[in-house]
Structure 1
Amino acid sequence: MKVVLISMPDVAPLIIHEAAVHMPGHGIACVGGNIDPEHDVYLIDLIRKRRSIRRYLTRTLTRIRPELVGLSAMAWQYDTCLKLARLIKTILPEVKIVIGGYHATLMSEEIAASPEAALIDFIIRGEGEEACRRLVNALAGKDDLASIPSLSYKADGRFVHNPWSGTLDLDTLRLPIRDKRRLTWGYHILYSKIELLETSRGCTRTCNFCSMKHMYGRTFRTYPIKRVLADLDDIYYKRKVRWVFIVDDNMVLDPQRVMDLCDAIIRRGYRKLNLVVQADCISMSRNEEMVKKMAQAGFRSVFLGIENVSRKNLAAAHKGDIVTASQKAVEICHRHGIMVIGGLIFGFPDDDEADIVNNYQFLNTIDADAAYCQILTPYPKTEMRQQLIDQGMVTNPDNLKRYSGLWANVRTRHLSSERLQYLFWYHRQKVLGWWKPSGRVRSQGKGWTSIWTFTFKPFLKLYYGHILRKHGWIGRYERELKRLAKMNYFPDLEN
């Protein structure tokens, strides 16, 4: 049986320009890698085909003629997902379409009851490896749809939702696909090749703005270190890639396991390996020996979820007071040469303009190397969403295409959503200003930091200086909004 798995073309450039980073879809690679080998599986990451989606898919799907196409999407990508489903049904009217990922998991009942359900044949809820493997076998006549946990399928034109399977045993999963079955290539971070690696799944933290528990429950599971090393060998030796982004939700929840993994990586003797990870401030601030081991193993950058420096906002997000922890975590990372990307969220109910300024100033105070800033987003089925709705703070409950973190879908008690959007942008320009690569950053990429410092930044400063003199801050902001609005608009999917 022929299967094509597709990830969405939509991007959310919360750190740097959308053209600077293109990462492969790890979810579809994992699902595809666990479909039984007698089936032909192909992967398409549409992030590499953003300008020619219709032409590329028409040519590729007509050539392969798959019997099943899988689509994976987040909430803010779901509108594109539906447009792709319509296009695919036009190209191959008889093909079956299965959707999965976070949005399909959280909103399966709503999707099943919607008019768009006519485009969709199956929904996989939660982790997709085993359910999709069995679905493909069932379509080949070797399994029964009604007995596949976490699968939703149609009977007499209506969706039937099988019981949830629970979480998977990670020991049983095969490696993700990175070979010639991946039809799209060219993944990069600032034009250095990059691949994705997973060492664990889940998070036990209680942040109420996060939808993680709906996918995995509040669990933390790890892959065997032997399996992680086999995955890293595949990336390093077979794919010849030296930059690896670890996609774990919160890798450092078990510090001893992290140190054991780092020791294993160090013994492997990889040269010029660069690892990037996301972590929580508490674990990083309390385990300097772990951070030291991470640096020795090749961890070059870490994203720290600081979220907010207001104690009332942290309490509202169920984060606890992590301001001191975040300061210490950054200090420890810098002591061992690890670059820190500080993550902040703006737009909590009590935020005013001073809070926005204070949060940006905090990033300067702790000497963060880069900023990952977004606006509080009422993601479907999260506790935070319901609280914000009850308080009358959600101004856009339905247009999920704007749920990428770039857009203000909420107001505060002091700021309209329009004012919040503007001040979020304006004070980033005024307080953070033009990015100045630190010595830590320059040591990781002398070439591209020099190009930025001596070529792109001077040009952009002249360009935006001209716009500012001609149109003022409001005019410059309005031009930026128009650019963002067009970013994930794909004209060739509209007809």
Structure 2
Amino acid sequence: MKILLLEHPRVFIPERCNDIANTPLSSSLLTGYAAGMLQSQGHQVEITEGYLDNLSYAVIKQQVSDLKPDLLGVHMVYHWRTDVDLFSFLEEIKREKLCPYIAAYGFYPTFNFAEILRECSAIDAVITGEPEATFSELADALSGRAGRSNIPGLARSDGTGNISHTPRELVEDLDSLPFPVRTEAMYRLPEVNLQGSRGCYGQCTFCYINPFYGHGSRWRGRSPENIAAEIDMIMAERGVKDFYFTDPNFFGPGRQGQSRALHLASLLRERNIRFGIEARVDDIHDETIAALVEAGLRHILIGLESGKDDSLKRLNKMTTVARNEQAVKILRKHGIEPNIGFIMFEPCSSLEDIRANFEFLRRNDLLNNLPVTANVLYHHQIILKGTPAFKMLQGEGRLELPPGATYEGSTTFVNPRVAVLADIMRQITNFLFRRMSGIWSGKEQEPRDAELKYEQINEMLVDLFEANLRALENGKLFTDEEKHLVVQEAKKNIDHMLEV
């Protein structure tokens, strides 16, 4: 049968420009893996890159009309609001009979399938969790190869408001999956995305990686040989040398995880590639990092999250401040300056917590790079459905949901002074990210003496954070007008510093 998989257009929302956790990076390969599985079953599969190719819905509609697919799969990505444009487009596709069956998949629909099925009648089903086997069985059912009832991993409405859903078991052997299909748009990215593992052995309160895969989820890794074979295929076909592992946790747990990483490093070293990874700090071991750097490791994201042990316990990181600092030292010893995940403002933060976070960042020289500084001095905890934090706050009666929505919640800061600083920094850093977006994307010319100006802005942000934190610690109560003046003065200074 003919199947079209759609990466739908996404709209930039200025006030959320620095909120990065709407979907994990690993979701970038969901469509490719689904396409690989469907092609292996003999189906004709095409992928439309509505987002990366910046396509309009009019162009996408024409592609659907030309192909006349039997099944339209939509990788639905949450981008900070109900996607009325996407729902309207799908309703139009159904109304004009351009495709008889539409299924959504991805992290957002996995946790919010009931609301999505209620809001968009054009969507016949939602594929939850890992999509490969469910897509394959759904395609078999639609093509008449098998019955349609009771497909695990498929959520459907009976038309009267009742929704049926049976979770699917995990894919036990990731090596058994066909390699993902990659589009030309994906090959235009600076690095080719790879997935070497799924899941995580951590249980952080803000993360929904494991809940996405389902009950009993755990870290599962592909064999180093299978990963190397995929890299060989890509290098042979495309001649590329730069890769990025989208795994939320590159390393498996414990000694076995370190041994696997060392074995993979030995295989990658022979291929003379460059790559990046993401990892927990407790997996940063000197011997393993040395081997990975020799094999081509050039950059890494580690989730530090906090500079205070009490906060790390609240976030259920199962790490310590000392371990955070040790990981940074090991990486720098081997020439890697880490990119970091950090939650400056969590719902229960006190001013003492914020001070500890700030001093931790300053003590470990993590406030010297403008994009990093702007991120860590602002970032608050995002509360999405599926995370333990969402469930906990909901159970405590502290979760706030906007009318008619159930996917992203919010909560007030326990400490009102923390709320003041969080609001000030959010406004200023969002302005900076909007102001710098054209420059950082290469679409606009850098100002004269760019590095010096970036250093000045970086210093201004650090000094501003410190000054307002100290004022709050000393008991100052900011009026709305005083907050507004602080933000406006900072915006004016940023504009002045960035004059060409």
Q: Same fold (TM over 0.5)?
A: yes
Q: Aligned in 2, Cα 1:184/1:301: closer, same or farther, shift over 3 Å?
A: closer
Q: Tell me the distance in 2 between the aligned counterparts of 1:171 and 1:364.
A: 43
| 8 Å Cα contact 1:44/1:183 also seen in 2 | no
Q: Give the corresponding residue for 1:282.
A: 282
Q: Which runs of 5+ in 2 are unaligned?
A: 437-441, 465-483, 493-500
Q: Aligned in 2, Cα 1:358/1:423: closer, same or farther, shift over 3 Å?
A: farther
Q: How far 1:307 sits from its partner (Å)?
A: 1.0
2:35 pairs with one of 27, 32, 36: 32
Q: Give the corresponding residue for 1:200.
A: 197
| Partner secondary structure for residue 180 of structure 2 | coil
Q: Trace 1:79-158 onto structure 2 (pairs within 5 A).
A: 79-80=82-83, 83-91=85-93, 93=95, 94=97, 95=99, 96-112=101-117, 114=118, 116-155=119-158
Q: How far 1:292 sits from its partner (Å)?
A: 0.6
AA aligned to 1:218 is S
Q: How far 1:49 sits from its partner (Å)?
A: 4.0
Q: Aligned in 2, Cα 1:420/1:325: closer, same or farther, shift over 3 Å?
A: same
2:332 pairs with one of 324, 331, 334: 334
Q: Tell me the distance in 2 between the aligned counterparts of 1:23 and 1:127.
A: 11
| Partner secondary structure for residue 303 of structure 1 | strand
Q: Aligned in 2, Cα 1:461/1:207: closer, same or farther, shift over 3 Å?
A: closer
Deviations 1:159-210 (A, max 9, x none): 65342221013121000012xxx3645643xxxx321101111111121222
Q: Give the corresponding residue for 1:475.
A: 488
Q: Aligned in 2, Cα 1:173/1:185: closer, same or farther, shift over 3 Å?
A: closer
Q: Tell me the distance in 2 between the aligned counterparts of 1:288 and 1:410.
A: 40
Q: Tell me the distance in 1 between the aligned counterparts of 2:331 and 2:206.
A: 26
| 8 Å Cα contact 1:68/1:97 also seen in 2 | yes
| 8 Å Cα contact 1:204/1:220 also seen in 2 | yes
AA aligned to 2:44 is D
AA aligned to 2:124 is D
Say whether 1:382 aligns with 2:387: yes
Q: How far 1:420 sits from its partner (Å)?
A: 5.2
Q: Trace 1:92-491 onto structure 2 (pairs within 5 A).
A: 93=95, 94=97, 95=99, 96-112=101-117, 114=118, 116-155=119-158, 160-168=163-171, 169-178=173-182, 182=183, 184=185, 187-188=188-189, 193-216=190-213, 217-253=216-252, 254-267=257-270, 269-270=271-272, 273-284=273-284, 287-353=285-351, 355-356=353-354, 358-368=356-366, 371=372, 373=376, 374-391=379-396, 393-396=398-401, 403=408, 409-415=410-416, 419=420, 421-425=422-426, 456=450, 473-475=486-488
Q: Tell me the distance in 1 between the aligned counterparts of 2:163 and 2:395.
A: 31
Q: Give the corresponding residue for 1:440.
A: none
| 8 Å Cα contact 2:90/2:122 also seen in 1 | no
Deviations 1:295-348 (A, max 9, x none): 111111111101111222211111234211111101101111123011111332
Q: How far 1:428 sits from its partner (Å)?
A: 6.4
Q: Aligned in 2, Cα 1:397/1:260: closer, same or farther, shift over 3 Å?
A: farther
| Partner secondary structure for residue 269 of structure 2 | helix
What is the CA RMSD across the aligned residues, in angstroms? 3.7
Give the TM-score, by structure 2 length: 0.76
Q: Trace 1:19-98 onto structure 2 (pairs within 5 A).
A: 25-37=28-40, 38-50=42-54, 52-76=55-79, 79-80=82-83, 83-91=85-93, 93=95, 94=97, 95=99, 96-98=101-103
Bigger shift: residues 273-282 or 38-47: 38-47
| 8 Å Cα contact 1:378/1:388 also seen in 2 | no
Q: Aligned in 2, Cα 1:111/1:322: closer, same or farther, shift over 3 Å?
A: same
Q: Tell me the distance in 2 between the aligned counterparts of 1:174 and 1:107.
A: 28
Q: How far 1:394 sits from its partner (Å)?
A: 3.7
Q: Tell me the distance in 2 between the aligned counterparts of 1:158 and 1:34.
A: 32
| 8 Å Cα contact 1:262/1:293 also seen in 2 | yes
| Partner secondary structure for residue 251 of structure 2 | helix
| 8 Å Cα contact 1:75/1:401 also seen in 2 | no
How many residues in Structure 1 have an aligned counterpart in Structure 2? 433
Q: Aligned in 2, Cα 1:472/1:75: closer, same or farther, shift over 3 Å?
A: same
Q: How far 1:137 sits from its partner (Å)?
A: 2.0
Q: Tell me the distance in 2 between the aligned counterparts of 1:187 and 1:459.
A: 30
Q: Aligned in 2, Cα 1:463/1:221: closer, same or farther, shift over 3 Å?
A: closer
| 8 Å Cα contact 2:351/2:417 also seen in 1 | no
Deviations 1:332-365 (A, max 9, x none): 0111112301111133233245644542442332
Q: Tell me the distance in 2 between the aligned counterparts of 1:350 and 1:153.
A: 38
